[in-house]
Structure 1
Amino acid sequence: MKSDFTAGFIGLGLIGGSIARAIRFFYPDARLIAHTRSRSTLDYALDENIIDEAYDGISEAFGRCDYIFLCAPVETNASCLERLKPLIGADCILTDVGSTKTDIHEKVNVLGMQKNFIGGHPMAGSEKTGIQNSKRHLIENAYYVLTPSEEVSQEMLKRMEELASSLKAIPLILDYHEHDYITAAISHLPHIIASTLVNLVRDSDNEKETMRTMAAGGFKDITRIASSSPEMWEQICSANRDNIIKVLDNYINSLISVKFALAEQDAGEIYNLFSASREYRNSISDTSSGPLKKVYAIYCDMVDEAGGIAALSTILATNGISIKNIGIVHNREFEEAVLRVEFYEKEAEEKAVALLRRYRYTVYER
């Protein structure tokens, strides 16, 4: 594929900004133009050299694009199609980054834009929003789902696959109906669970807010995504409501089964719940064929005294072992030790374990 293409962006939030940054890095000869409703976002993108041109509306400039990324909220993306239809060329790839695909595909079909449209969903993100939190490597090693329209050419689909791969993402082609059912289970339902759990604790807390004070460890881990954008997730849930209702019904039934098992003191059923979920969850985290790089981390008992972390870091550094991340685990509910040390590769992890044990540290591998 050529390196001097023009890419247009409608919306420049976390995902759009990250894709633009990645294109800027890997394709310095590419020209990037953008329109978003926030002028401050456009000014930031220009100041940071993320884009070359900024527009206050969808103008004829987008007719020069080889790619157009719709990166606004899902409902806004669909509303932009009519304005883009008379502008885009026959070879322009029109794509989006929305978490739901059925709604925009149906709009594309109504407008007769199937020959240009390839739905897209980079399976990456953060609870933080906005272009200020965008990162060039956000989509690196993440699945980039592509849902091509029936009339799009294989040549255009190949171009989009190559672009996604060149940005270090992993393209995965799915039917858009299948995509929406899958994401309802693995993405949309977890956000609902996290948000309802947070609200349950809020409503169950006492006047001293003891639950809020003690909330740490596992609770914070599984509710982190509850900090995501309410506007975005309201639109996602509305757009994919039928699929979410299906998986939500299944989840509610599973909770009722747990409730009955507890009421009947069925220890075997409770054990099977945790055993089966542990086995399946471990198969996800340990797989070598998934998109995410394996985390190489150890846990180490650490006496709570000044200089403890510095001493351990010095031991590793003087032996040529680079640390990716290090931090104290303040709550041991789900951890076996108090200090977590993360490395860039398996070899460094193995070397660190042997070295620290030689220095009589108690080290746990997971």
Structure 2
Amino acid sequence: MEQMTFAFLGLGLIGGSIAKAIRAAYPGCFIRACDTDPATLKLALAEGTADEITDHIGEDNGAAFTSCDFLFLCAPVSQNDSNLLLIRSFLLNAEENGCILTDVGSVKTTIHEHIEQLGLTSCFIGGHPMAGSERIGYQNSKASLLENAYYILTPTRDVPRRQLERYAALVKAMGAIPLILDYRQHDYVTAAISHLPHVIASSLVNLVKSSDNEDGIMKLVAAGGFKDITRIASSSTVMWQQICLTNGENISRLLERYISSLEKVKDEIDRHDAGHLYDFFDCARNYRDSFIDASSGPIKKVYTVNVEIPDEAGSLASVATLLALNNISIKNIGIVHNRESEDGVLRIEFYEEAAIEKAAKLLNSRGYTVFLKK
């Protein structure tokens, strides 16, 4: 296979994860990386993620960064705009060279409009891997971040079909799921399922902060439900500030509808409307459960049991050893720290559904209390 060449302008969490996934899929490829952080570049080179590094783009190396199969814009939005201006002259013949220009931003309208203004529509395909973490930076990147995640592609009207097919093939090779959308549809969809939840999570955290007493009792007892719904509030503040500024119209429109729905629920609570409150929670539960489908999508059904174990040294190891000796493979195992809504203290996840019944029967026979997840 002909050696593929990739270039990255910016190498943070997402850029680093994509580079690592590409390295895993194409070990013999060549990767150039540009970043303003010397520590990031040094680590990327030491880990073998990048073959060539630089801290700037200019006349001396601009051509090298556009002489590639894929050029990823992975810096913050404002920096991406500056980088595009620096390499525009080298990109104008990108279609002839076969270079695919792409980005990884959560908002697509602004980058598409900029690409249009620069006359680069023949080589640009917007990209958005629907994966991430509350942790930031290259040091937290990993190839597995993209596994089974949707990777949305937003091609321009001028990009050749063969280029879109090349990109989709790359996405599949990285272990992600390509999904092709119009960039305007992308921004409305992500406003609902990604951007609005971050606004809600941060608002809830700030509400608790302002409502707590001097002793911090709310903060002290905040358990599973609160932690689960607010985890994403720990994400990059600058990134989410920029997302709200660049996709504000969609977020505001959906936020208005969300506020209206909250006012409706508040009214039902005030009126002690048992029937409508039941319908409210039941509808949400049923729809949320429909997301978990082992046959499609990135949200997979998990095969888990919870097990009561004594609070003493060696208890967890005893359970793990018992299962291993009976040829029951464990995918993940850990202590459930939240007893607010979970039965059992030890949570065990298996690779397949058949292992649940076998493990439960074995553990029950040894005196353990097992709670099957529904």
Q: Answer whether contact 2:212 2:218 (CA < 8 A) is retained.
A: yes
CA contact (8 A) 2:134 2:231 kept: yes
1:136 Cα offset (Å): 1.2
Over 3 Å counting, the alpha-carbon distance change for 1:65 and 1:339 in structure 2 is same
Residue in 2 aligned with 1:45?
44
- Counterpart secondary structure, 1:187: helix
User: What is the one-letter code of the residue matched to 2:257?
Assistant: N
Q: 3-state SS of the aligned residue for 2:327?
A: coil
CA deviation profile, 1:3-55 (whole Å, cap 9, x unmatched) = 51110001101111011111111112211001112122111111111101111
Does the aligned pair in 1 maintain the 2:172–2:178 contact within 8 Å?
yes
- Note the 1:163-182 alignment, pairs <5 A: 163-182=170-189
Which amino acid letter does the alignment assign opposite residue 176 of structure 2? A
Which segments of structure 1 move beyond 6 Å, counting only runs of 4 or more?
Answer: none
Aligned residue in 2 for 1:209: 216
- Tell me how far apart the structure 2 counterparts of residues 26 and 161 of structure 1 sit (CA, whole Å): 14
Per the alignment, residue 312 of structure 1 pairs with 319
RMSD (Å) for aligned C-alpha atoms: 1.4
Shift of the alpha carbon at 1:210?
A: 0.9
For the residue of structure 2 that corresponds to 1:7, the secondary structure is strand
Alpha-carbon offset, residue 151 of structure 1: 0.2
1:92 aligns with 2:91: no
Please name the residue that 1:227 is paired with: 234
Q: Which runs of 5+ in 2 are unaligned?
A: none
> What secondary structure is seen at the aligned counterpart in 1 of 2:290?
helix
**How many equivalent residue pairs?**
365
Matches of 1:97 and 1:125, distance apart in 2: 11
Match of 2:289 in 1: 282
Whether 1:190 and 2:164 are equivalent positions in the alignment is: no
Query: What does residue 115 of structure 2 align with?
Result: 108
Aligned to 2:35: 36
Q: Which runs of 5+ in 1 are unaligned?
A: none
SS in 2 for 1:86: helix
Instruction: Work out the CA distance in 1 between the residues paired with 2:2 and 2:329.
Output: 35
The answer to whether residue 5 in structure 2 is matched with residue 6 in structure 1 is: yes
Aligned mates of 1:117, 1:12 — CA distance in 2? 19
Q: Percent identical across equivalent pairs?
A: 56
Which residue does 2:86 correspond to in 1?
Answer: 83
Q: Deviations over 1:340-363 (max 9, x none)?
A: 111223333332122222323222
Q: Using structure 2 for the length normalisation, give the TM-score.
A: 0.94
- Distance in 1 between residues matched to 2:294 and 2:353, nearest whole Å: 14
Query: Which residue of the other structure, out of 118, 128, 131, is the alignment partner of 1:124?
Result: 131
Q: Which residue of 1 aligns with 2:371?
A: 364
Structure 2 SS opposite 1:353? helix
Instruction: Answer yes or no: is 1:297 the counterpart of 2:296.
Output: no
3-state SS of 1:138 partner: helix
- TM-score with structure 1 setting the length: 0.96
Query: Could you tell me which residue of structure 2 aligns to residue 242 of structure 1?
Result: 249
Partner of 2:65: 62
User: Deviation per CA, 1:148-177, whole angstroms, max 9, x where unpaired?
Assistant: 000000010010011111111110000000
CA contact (8 A) 1:142 1:291 kept: yes
CA distance in 2, matches of 1:63, 1:225: 35
The verdict on how the C-alpha distance between 1:127 and 1:159 changes in structure 2, with shifts beyond 3 A counting, is same
